[in-house]
């Protein structure tokens, strides 16, 4: 089974900071990777799919990149509403493997 | 607009069974696979399995093979998750989520829309 390892966790940052979260897969996963944001008490929300495609309605300060086994979610300028937990997700033949999550909190 | 609406909070005793529903609207129910994902308190997200509402086909994570059944009722646009032999460590929020790809593509696109979650507490 493929394992997804996220870092760092947690991540302390301030409003306006550029934030980078990394996800590493145990094997090459092509572009079957998405990023999700989860605020406390809410369901996850998809931000990015297919490594780098922004979900409709998601602000352009979010971006994704990577290939093979190493992937990155970047928030170019952290906003107050971005303090949340972020998960990478690998999907293959409808099996889902989540990263452990990165909580972005206030420095 | 796609919506997935789940049944409400449940409190169960150890050894009991649980059935959570997920009612879809805003799209053709049989066109997309549905996932079930759970999240224990303060923990990450855990995939439980999927159902193809068109065929009724399912696949479960190995951890849940013996205790989980996923079904759907296409006349009600509703999917169900049943968990038997509940234990305290089954206490979690259970989510349904829709796969973003049409099922006929036979290739997952990852979940796009999620239900609001159902809190299940297992306690004596």
Each residue's pLDDT tens digit in chain A (107 positions)? 899 999 998 999 999 999 999 999 999 999 999 999 999 999 999 999 999 999 999 999 999 999 999 999 999 999 999 999 999 999 988 899 999 999 999 99
Could you give the CA distance from residue A8 to residue A25 in angstroms, rounded to a whole number? 15
> What's the pLDDT score for residue A93?
83
- Longest alpha-carbon distance in chain B: 45
Give tens-digit pLDDT for B8-43. Answer: 999 999 999 999 999 999 999 999 999 999 999 999
Give Rg (Cα) of chain A. Answer: 13
pLDDT for the residue B105: 87
Question: From the CA of A90, how many Å to the nearest CA of chain B?
Answer: 8
Mutation pick from B3, B5, B22, B45 vs chain A, by most beta carbons of A within 10 Å, is: B45
| CB-CB neighbours of B43 under 10 Å | 12
On whether the CB atoms of residues A20 and A80 are closer than 8 A, the answer is no
- Strand ranges (E), A14-69: 19-25, 33-38, 45-49, 53-54, 62-67
Q: Strand, coil or helix: what is A25? A: strand
C-beta atoms of A93 and B47 within 8 A:
no
């Amino acid at each position: 089974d493929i394992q997804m390892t996220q870092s760092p966790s947690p991540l302390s940052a301030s409003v306006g900071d550029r934030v980078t979260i990394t996800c590493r897969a145990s094997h090459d996963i092509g572009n079957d990777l998405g990023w999700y944001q989860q605020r406390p008490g809410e369901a996850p929300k998809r931000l990015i799919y297919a490594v780098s495609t922004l979900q409709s309605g998601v602000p352009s300060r979010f971006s994704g990149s990577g290939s093979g086994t190493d992937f990155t979610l970047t928030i170019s300028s952290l906003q107050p509403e971005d303090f949340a937990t972020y998960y990478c997700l690998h999907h293959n033949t409808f099996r889902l493997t989540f990263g452990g999550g990165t909580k972005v909190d206030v420095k | 607009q796609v919506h997935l609406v789940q049944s409400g909070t449940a409190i169960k005793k150890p050894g009991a069974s649980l059935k959570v529903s997920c009612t879809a609207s805003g799209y053709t129910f049989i066109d997309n696979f549905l996932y079930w994902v759970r999240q224990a308190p303060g923990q990450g997200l855990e995939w439980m399995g999927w159902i193809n509402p068109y065929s009724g086909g399912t696949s479960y994570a190995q951890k849940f093979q013996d205790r989980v059944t996923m079904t759907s009722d296409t006349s009600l646009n509703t999917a169900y998750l049943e968990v038997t032999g509940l234990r305290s460590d089954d206490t979690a929020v259970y989510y349904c989520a829709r796969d973003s790809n049409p099922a006929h593509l036979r290739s997952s696109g990852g979940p796009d829309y999620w239900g609001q979650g159902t809190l299940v507490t297992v306690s004596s």
